[in-house]
Chain A
Amino acid sequence: MTGTEAPEALAVLDRDGLDALVAALVADGRTVVGPTVRDGAIVLAELASAAELPYGWGVELDAGRYRLVRREDGAAFAHSAGPQSWKSYLHPARERLWSADRTPEGDLSFTADEPEAPSYAFLGVRPCDLRAIAIQDGVLTGGRHTDGGYGKRRKRALLIAAECTEPGATCFCVSTGGGPAADAGYDLALTEVVDEGGHRFLVRVGSEEGARLLEQVPHRAADMVTDASARAAVDAARDRMGRALPPVDLRTLLGASLAAERWDDVASRCLTCGNCTMVCPTCFCTTTEEVTDLTGDHTERWQRWDSCFDLDFSYLHEGPVRSSGRARYRQWLTHKLSTWHDQFGTSGCVGCGRCIAWCPAGIDITEEVAALHAELETEKETER
């Protein structure tokens, strides 16, 4: 993928065109990953064809609740806050980093694990997730110590965005500075339109690779009606966010709330199960484990997802630093919204709403932040 100033061309694909697009990607040897229905949810999975997209399925969301619902319009991209994010592919849950063997002479020989990265094509990346990928790019490849595996997978990945026309009840991207429109970081951006004019996708080109791909599939030039409908649907989505973070400086708020009583309240409801961090598209923490085999002559180092909710995550000589649920939830939220700025220059939250929907206990990040804000305001009032 190239920079953000790639020429913007507008085209329209119909459903056959989308079929052809996926077929072209598959023929190109790419691993196409996109949304599909499995186990009562719209999950991300490898797609063999566009027919596997969740045509006619939507979702009903609430804190701690996700239900598939049928849609009359047959739309493929009218859903949000699925149970996984793209990090499952770019930053997988388990990855072998290297192995070592004892040679017959008794020395150790080390072998770095450098498998050829798959050539992914992600189909249906939400604008919130485009931002999340950009944040993980910064975290995992932007500093002095880069994650080589992530870098290779990311470099080869083609991103086809699907703008958001159907935000869910747990969505709040607008209040994190984002929005339902894809503005950067994609090769192609689709906007789904279903009306009397038919079921079609307005396509914007974001890179040369995207332009080349579009040339391979039957499409037509964008007409004004499709263009206007697409823009109107995305604009309307902006005003239909189910939730919002309070419009205050969150970095300062969290920094000033370290001793808040609200942390005890949320800790009483928090299961410390780690689900929020696993579904978060920006949470990147991993741990490494050395695994030996029975012979004792072979060892492997594996990297795997970890979480600040895991007691082992802060385990230092003889005990975890953050043993209470309060300390762990506070660490997560404070890092996500405040110290992330200090560390990486941005917020760590894109407002995708996954942590709200997939928290079994239904803890709502926007509600917690609002409560912290209210507590701080009350405190200020009392001081006056």
Chain B
Amino acid sequence: MNAPTLAVFKLASCDGCQLTLLDCEDELLALAGRVDITHFLEASSAVAPGPYDLTLVEGSVTTTEDAERVRAIRAASRHLVTIGACATAGGIQALRNFADVDEYRRTVYAHPEYISTLATSTPVSAHVDVDFELRGCPIDRRQLLEVITAFLAGRKPDVPNHSVCFECKRRGTVCVTVAHGAPCLGPVTHAGCGALCPAYGRGCFGCFGPSGSVNLPALIPLLRNGGASRSDSGKGGGGKRAGGLDEAAVERLLHTFNAAAFDKIDKEART
């Protein structure tokens, strides 16, 4: 039996997620022994046509060409796994979804007429069926190996969708919100990074996107107040307190790599 073929493609993205595959230094040889990597431009310019048994796609869809390309990739792939915040949520470039893309184009480019782009940046799942979405900006090396290993074994990947708080507590990190009043998106963010930022004393900024169970209306007052304590927070005051964020800062915190995903949840919560 031939080894299963693995392909890696990229759309609008920074390449960081596919580089995570090369970052699997200790496991790379074992991986190369188990799969036949037939399309991975970041590693080799020698590419083979599909079909591919497992395809990893990085990046979001921001052009009509990519929208077509991702359909061709899907058609050539038995299993399609999207990797990273761009591919799973539209990425930082989805900020255009909340703005006038023509204005952006005029501001950024000397010759905006050369730029052909869509008005939105969307995740791959908005265009084709996706078998699994692996979150993160960038994705976590161990989780990528787990997804590939699970695919090889024909089992479900062990990638829990609970909050980052689970990971903080399991590794014994002191809660930065409760102990320091730091703004932290951990309670609404998908686990997977191993609670990296809080372990270094800073709040989570949500690079893994929303968890499977998000209550944004419960979190936003905490971001504004620098934590929950009721003893010294004016009820309904709306102003910011020491350690808290003002309205614009709260919006900025939620509008990063997974802006579109958090925005969707925010809109759902408001209706």
- Report which A residues bind B (CB closer than 8 A): 38-41, 43, 62-68, 83-84, 88, 93-94, 268-275, 278-279, 289-296, 304-305, 307, 309-312, 325, 357-362
How many residue pairs at the A-B interface have CB separations less than 8 Å?
155
- Complex CA–CA separation, A38 to B33 (angstroms): 44
Q: Is B166 interfacial (CB 8 A cutoff)?
A: yes
Residues in B whose Cβ lies below 8 Å from that of A361: 187, 218-219, 222, 228
Name the residue on A nearest B231 (C-beta): A62
Residues in A whose Cβ lies below 8 Å from that of B175: 66, 83, 275, 358, 360
Say whether B158 contacts A359, CB under 8 Å.
no
Say whether A307 contacts B30, CB under 8 Å.
no
Min CB gap B129→A, angstroms: 18
- Complex CA–CA separation, A65 to B222 (angstroms): 11
With A268-B217, A304-B170, A305-B169 as contacts: A312 and B161 at CB distance below 8 Å: yes
Residue interface bits B211-236, CB-to-A below 8 A is 1, else 0: 01101011100100001111100000
Q: A304-B170, A305-B169, A361-B187 are in contact. List 14 more A-B contacts (CB 8 A).
A: A43-B174, A62-B229, A63-B228, A63-B229, A65-B228, A272-B215, A274-B162, A275-B165, A291-B146, A294-B149, A296-B153, A312-B162, A357-B178, A360-B177
Say whether A271 contacts B174, CB under 8 Å.
no
- Complex CA–CA separation, A49 to B158 (angstroms): 40
Min CB gap B174→A, angstroms: 4
Say whether B158 contacts A268, CB under 8 Å.
no
Say whether A294 contacts B161, CB under 8 Å.
no
- Complex CA–CA separation, A271 to B146 (angstroms): 28
Residues in A whose Cβ lies below 8 Å from that of B169: 93, 274-275, 278-279, 305
> 10 tightest A-B contacts by CB?
A64-B228, A362-B228, A278-B169, A273-B187, A65-B229, A93-B170, A271-B187, A273-B165, A39-B174, A41-B174
- Complex CA–CA separation, A360 to B220 (angstroms): 11
Say whether A291 contacts B172, CB under 8 Å.
no
Name the residue on A nearest B215 (C-beta): A271
Q: Is B155 interfacial (CB 8 A cutoff)?
A: yes
- Complex CA–CA separation, A59 to B41 (angstroms): 55
Say whether B165 contacts A40, CB under 8 Å.
no
Residue interface bits B189-200, CB-to-A below 8 A is 1, else 0: 000000000000
Interchain Cβ contacts under 8 Å between A and B, 28 examples: A40-B174, A40-B179, A41-B174, A64-B178, A64-B227, A64-B229, A66-B178, A67-B179, A83-B178, A93-B169, A271-B187, A271-B215, A273-B187, A274-B165, A275-B175, A278-B166, A291-B146, A292-B150, A305-B166, A312-B160, A312-B162, A359-B228, A360-B178, A360-B187, A360-B227, A360-B228, A361-B187, A362-B228
Name the residue on B nearest A169 (C-beta): B231
Say whether A93 contacts B231, CB under 8 Å.
no
Say whether A305 contacts B228, CB under 8 Å.
no
Say whether B212 contacts A278, CB under 8 Å.
no
Min CB gap B146→A, angstroms: 8
Name the residue on A nearest B146 (C-beta): A291
Q: Is B180 interfacial (CB 8 A cutoff)?
A: yes
With A62-B230, A275-B165 as contacts: A93 and B213 at CB distance below 8 Å: no
- Complex CA–CA separation, A345 to B23 (angstroms): 52
Name the residue on B nearest A62 (C-beta): B229
Residues in A whose Cβ lies below 8 Å from that of B184: 360
Which of B30, B146, B213, B231 is close to A272, meaning CB atoms less than 8 Å apart?
B213
Say whether B188 contacts A271, CB under 8 Å.
yes
With A271-B215, A362-B228 as contacts: A294 and B31 at CB distance below 8 Å: yes
- Complex CA–CA separation, A273 to B201 (angstroms): 19
Min CB gap A44→B, angstroms: 8
Residues in A whose Cβ lies below 8 Å from that of B170: 93-94, 278, 304-305
Which of A83, A296, A307 is close to B174, meaning CB atoms less than 8 Å apart?
A83
Min CB gap A120→B, angstroms: 16
- Complex CA–CA separation, A270 to B186 (angstroms): 14
Min CB gap B231→A, angstroms: 6
Residues in B whose Cβ lies below 8 Å from that of A295: 30, 34
With A62-B230, A83-B174, A271-B163 as contacts: A40 and B180 at CB distance below 8 Å: yes
Q: Is B253 interfacial (CB 8 A cutoff)?
A: no
Say whether B145 contacts A294, CB under 8 Å.
yes
Q: Is B75 interfacial (CB 8 A cutoff)?
A: no
Name the residue on B nearest A65 (C-beta): B229
Q: Is B14 interfacial (CB 8 A cutoff)?
A: no
Q: Is B69 interfacial (CB 8 A cutoff)?
A: no
- Complex CA–CA separation, A62 to B186 (angstroms): 20
- Complex CA–CA separation, A309 to B169 (angstroms): 14
CB proximity to A under 8 Å, residues B21-40: 27, 30-31, 33-34
Residues in B whose Cβ lies below 8 Å from that of A294: 27, 30-31, 33-34, 145, 148-149, 152
Which of A83, A271, A310 is close to B160, meaning CB atoms less than 8 Å apart?
A310
Say whether A292 contacts B155, CB under 8 Å.
yes
Say whether B162 contacts A307, CB under 8 Å.
yes
- Complex CA–CA separation, A94 to B155 (angstroms): 21
Residues in A whose Cβ lies below 8 Å from that of B252: none
CB proximity to A under 8 Å, residues B125-157: 145-146, 148-150, 152-153, 155
Most buried by B among A62, A296, A360, A362: A360
Residues in A whose Cβ lies below 8 Å from that of B187: 271, 273, 275, 360-361
Name the residue on A nearest B229 (C-beta): A65
- Complex CA–CA separation, A88 to B162 (angstroms): 20
Which of B34, B153, B158, B230 is close to A289, meaning CB atoms less than 8 Å apart?
B158
Q: Is B171 interfacial (CB 8 A cutoff)?
A: yes
- Complex CA–CA separation, A275 to B175 (angstroms): 9
Residues in A whose Cβ lies below 8 Å from that of B166: 273-274, 278, 305, 307, 310
Name the residue on A nearest B165 (C-beta): A273
